[in-house]
Structure 1
Amino acid sequence: MEKKKRIALVAHDNRKQDLIEWVEYNAVTLLEHKIICTGTTGKLIEQQLKPALDSEKFSSFEVTKLKSGPLGGDQQLGAMIVDGEIDLMIFFWDPMQPQPHDVDVKALLRITVLYNIPTACNRSTADFIISSHLFNEEYRQKVKDYSTYINREVKM
């Protein structure tokens, strides 16, 4: 991981306001990094931060928006993780509301574990990640070696 992190931001509908508040609170820190969001979350963050983004101090703040989660944004994000294009993920998901795309959410969380991507699913964990000295440094994460699995003999 480079010093400038590529941060995925995702939130279910009932948690979007929580994520927006977290982003507002941490905007100065997040300015130094690249932000990638699922579509609706990205739009809401841009709208909410528009006054700040128009100021010269925040002019470099950029939000890359993927598709909305239920329309494939979760899967796009998973592909970016597999391709090494995401360094950490903040995903405020709603534990009280079943989602029509729960299987996509589970797959995305599985990929973050598989590729050893730091993942915060609530504000406390996000606060711990963003306040860690590792957040603003280069970091070499260890990814489990799956070569034994990849090179296994396949029988039919």
Structure 2
Amino acid sequence: MKIALIAHDKKKEELLDFVSKHKDVFSQHELFATGTTGLRVNERTELPIHRFKSGPLGGDQEIGARIANQELDAVFFFRDPLTAQPHEPDVSALIRLGDVYRIPMATNIGMAQILIHAIRRNEF
């Protein structure tokens, strides 16, 4: 599977902990991420990861393009709903593309746990 990882600044640590906890699952798949998130995931886990630009610099749009071209299978996007994002239109577009192309997208830890367990059990 091809899996994208994205996290807003205040959610990066939560995503890093989540990926570390489920490293055995993520290591079996091809990983993609926005810039800083990808760098931090790689530093923490040593998992190979293809990094796009930072979200505000177009990384969200790069991942959105992969979704539109049916080149991603799942997205873990730990969003910070309480902080205004300067690139909110890009975030909305990314989520909309996930819905249009029926890509499973976990935007919080609860959905991430459900999605990772489905991937682990090959129920995806």
Instruction: Tell me how far apart the structure 1 counterparts of residues 42 and 69 of structure 2 sit (CA, whole Å).
Output: 26
Partner of 1:67: 53
Runs of 4+ in 1 over 2 A off after TM superposition: 133-137
Structure 2: 5+ residue stretches without partners:
none
Partner of 2:111: 125
Q: Equivalent of 1:110, from 93, 96, 120?
A: 96
Aligned residue pairs, count: 124
Between the aligned residues of both structures, percent identity stands at 40
Instruction: Tell me how far apart the structure 1 counterparts of residues 119 and 65 of structure 2 sit (CA, whole Å).
Output: 28
Greater Cα shift, 124-133 or 97-106: 124-133
Bigger radius of gyration: 1
Three-state SS of the structure 1 residue aligned to 2:19 is helix
Note closer, same or farther for the CA distance 1:81–1:9 as it changes in structure 2 (3 Å cut): same
Partner of 1:18: 14
Question: Are the aligned partners of 1:129 and 1:135 in contact in 2 as well (CA < 8 Å)?
Answer: no
Alignment of 1:72-87 (within 5 A): 72-87=58-73
| TM-score, length basis structure 2 | 0.95
Structure 1: 5+ residue stretches without partners:
54-60, 140-156
What letter corresponds to residue 104 of structure 2 in structure 1? P
The structural deviation recorded for 1:21 is 0.2
